[in-house]
Chains A and B, each alone.
Chain A
Amino acid sequence: MNVIYVDNNATTKVAPEVLEEMLPYFNEYYGNPSSMHTFGGMVEHKIVESRERLAKLLGASPEEIIFTSCGTESDSTAIRAAILSNPRKKHIVTSRVEHPAVKNLYEYLSKNGYRATFVPVDRKGRLDLDYLYKNLDEDTAIVSIMWANNESGVIFPIEEIGRVLKEKGIVFHTDAVQAVGKIPIDLKNTAVDMLSISGHKLHGPKGVGALYVRKGTKYSPFLIGGHQEKGRRGGTENVASIIGLGKASELAAANLSDESIKVKPLRDKLEAELLNRIPNSMVNGDRDHRLPNTTSIAFEYVEGEAILLMMDEFGICASSGSACTSGSLEPSHVLRAMGVPFTAAHGSIRFSLSVYNTEEEIDVIIEKLPPIIERLRELSPFWKKAQ
């Protein structure tokens, strides 16, 4: 069966160019970059190059990049670094729609001596900036706000928040895992102190991430050990994957315009056709400030897991904000924070595209999904009543 993969916010295909560049570093050039010999030194050169490539994508300097094992490690490192270097400050701020990598750490910290503020969003998933600014005080150690939301695709005004926080002298971290490679990011002109990246969201491999730490930001390592990453992250480098992330960054920088030229029109077509063909369907989130590849569509009176499994029969891979897919009983915290009604939240499906999607694939989804929704609605005791 052909797979139609529209779940790129979950993970992406490793680009062929990325894989090709990684492969020799498993069993041909397997030296340790810390070694004194030329054989290890060759690997070290390649890591330097990867750091430069990623820095270029972000508009940062190479020495501001620390390679990590994943987005979650980057988030944890950043937030813990901020609170460890400001030990007297006990207030931490984030949004109500963060990824669990930030959300659950904040919840943990709030049970361990910290006061956490979770900034709400409106019905369209836009951040309540007044609420954010009103809740800052002398005690605030860090603000962590994601650049773009993984479920709705809504982009937050990171540049503006950065300006305000810089004035107040509060450390600002952003989880940019979903944004990097999809929208332009220029850290030279954005007042962000720390920024998290994950390799596998931009056609790099899994198991590698990076943390940008602006020069001059107080920092303390999360993994304490060897001198790797200038002592900012101990542990032998995941060489092949770092090289993969470097190559993926180079490709992302070169092809960034594809996101708006190729991906966005496909997303827009998919969205428009589904809304058009399926009654009682609506987009979750602010359509004007959104990642070019993401759409979250709510189909009322049906349940998301059932939709996903029926799409799976056709090889269509998407994801759902429904409770049933995650093993929890409530719909996603993002959709709930947005106040999406239960009738719609349980039946919300997220499609996230990539440059590898074709128009033919989108046409298949447009053809296959309406009858699935119709069938499930026929099964549902609520559908007829709602008519």
Chain B
Amino acid sequence: MWEYTKTVKDHFLNPRNVGVIDDADGVGEVGSLACGDALTLYFKLDENKKIKDAKFQTFGCASAIASSSALTEMIKGLSLEDAEKITNDKIAEFLGGLPKQKMHCSVLGRDALEKAIANYRGQAEKKVEGNIVCECFGVTDLEIKRAVRENSLNSIEDVTNYVKAGGGCESCHEKIQKIIDESLGLEMPAKKKVIRLTNIQKIKLIEETLEREIKPALKKDGGDIDLVDVDGNNVLVKLQGTCATCSASQITLKHYVESKLRELVAPELLVEEVH
């Protein structure tokens, strides 16, 4: 059984903004029946070119429906420029995290949004760019590279979780590994430029990030987090409030807390829960 957060369950059982906008300004269709999930997104702009209304129709599992519902809530009131900045990670974050194997549902949301915006701007349907790597799910090398870059993926399993590539016959695994290796290779020199933090600097930065970014987000759901210790790259934390009893706390920990700390402090950090 998947461990879905309360927010995911809520958006699945009571999806917001289901339906069609007949005179939509932008429409984006992604996915297919064969793939097991598909989403059609509609939006309507107001006179200030902000998204006034958004609706969706989704075929797929609970997390696909919840991701779609979340997306429509997130983009309402935004200008297209701001809406464009929504990444799949933000969708997952809005939902309080998604199981790793379900991250592709959030990617589906982002793709639909991109397509709908392109549709509004009158940009021709993007031709399939790049070369198909995964024949089973029709995923190109460019899509894989993007997912690897944006989500710091470093294994074939991760790539499958995010964009489905490699989840079928598995014959493309070698190619995916190559793309991962290349992406990591390219990023290596960039990473080295990051100034090495001293231990005290690192601990301070972790504390600041927890206070500024992470605690406020958890508190919204009635949870909290305390820093217990920093041992090398291991960040030991204690979950409080609803987080302490929440069945999805591991997902929050790994997908939210850890990725935030990696993003804002140091990419090699590991978050561990102590009881």
Give residues in A with beta carbon < 8 Å to B.
301-306, 309-310, 313, 322-325, 327-331, 342-343, 346, 378-382
Q: List 13 A-B contacts (CB under 8 A).
A: A301-B59, A303-B36, A303-B59, A305-B62, A309-B62, A324-B64, A324-B102, A325-B61, A329-B104, A329-B168, A342-B33, A381-B29, A381-B57
Complex CA distance for A226 and B89, rounded to whole angstroms: 54
Q: A301-B59, A304-B61, A381-B57 are in contact. List 7 more A-B contacts (CB 8 A).
A: A301-B33, A329-B35, A329-B36, A379-B58, A379-B59, A381-B40, A382-B38
B interface residues, tally (CB under 8 Å)? 32
Q: Nearest residue in B to A380 (C-beta to C-beta)?
A: B59
Please judge, given known A-B contacts A381-B38, A382-B38, whether A329 and B164 are in contact too, CB under 8 Å. Answer: yes
CB neighbours of A329 from chain B (8 A): 35-36, 104, 137, 160, 164, 167-168
At the interface, yes or no: B34 with Cβ under 8 Å from chain A? yes
Interface centre among A303, A310, A343 (most CB of B within 10 A): A303
- Asked whether, in the complex, the Cβ of A330 is within 8 Å of the Cβ of B61, the reply is no
Instruction: Give the residue of A330, A331, A380 whose beta carbon is less than 8 angstroms from that of B58.
Output: A380
- Asked whether, in the complex, the Cβ of B36 is within 8 Å of the Cβ of A379, the reply is no
CB neighbours of B36 from chain A (8 A): 303, 322-324, 329-331, 342, 346
- Asked whether, in the complex, the Cβ of A343 is within 8 Å of the Cβ of B33, the reply is yes
- Asked whether, in the complex, the Cβ of A303 is within 8 Å of the Cβ of B61, the reply is yes
At the interface, yes or no: B15 with Cβ under 8 Å from chain A? yes
Give, as a whole number of angstroms, the nearest-CB distance from B5 to chain A: 13
- Asked whether, in the complex, the Cβ of B13 is within 8 Å of the Cβ of A313, the reply is yes
- Asked whether, in the complex, the Cβ of A379 is within 8 Å of the Cβ of B33, the reply is no
Give residues in B with beta carbon < 8 Å to A.
2, 12-13, 15, 18, 29, 33-40, 57-65, 101-102, 104, 136-137, 160, 164, 167-168
Complex CA distance for A325 and B61, rounded to whole angstroms: 8
CB neighbours of B63 from chain A (8 A): 324
CB neighbours of A330 from chain B (8 A): 36, 136, 167-168
Complex CA distance for A89 and B40, rounded to whole angstroms: 55
A-B complex: 10 closest residue pairs judged by Cβ atoms: A329-B167, A324-B61, A305-B61, A381-B57, A380-B59, A381-B40, A342-B34, A327-B101, A323-B36, A309-B62
Give, as a whole number of angstroms, the nearest-CB distance from B171 to chain A: 13
Q: Nearest residue in B to A301 (C-beta to C-beta)?
A: B59
CB neighbours of B35 from chain A (8 A): 329
Give, as a whole number of angstroms, the nearest-CB distance from B58 to chain A: 6
Give, as a whole number of angstroms, the nearest-CB distance from B239 to chain A: 25
- Asked whether, in the complex, the Cβ of A303 is within 8 Å of the Cβ of B37, the reply is yes
Interface centre among B2, B39, B60, B167 (most CB of A within 10 A): B60
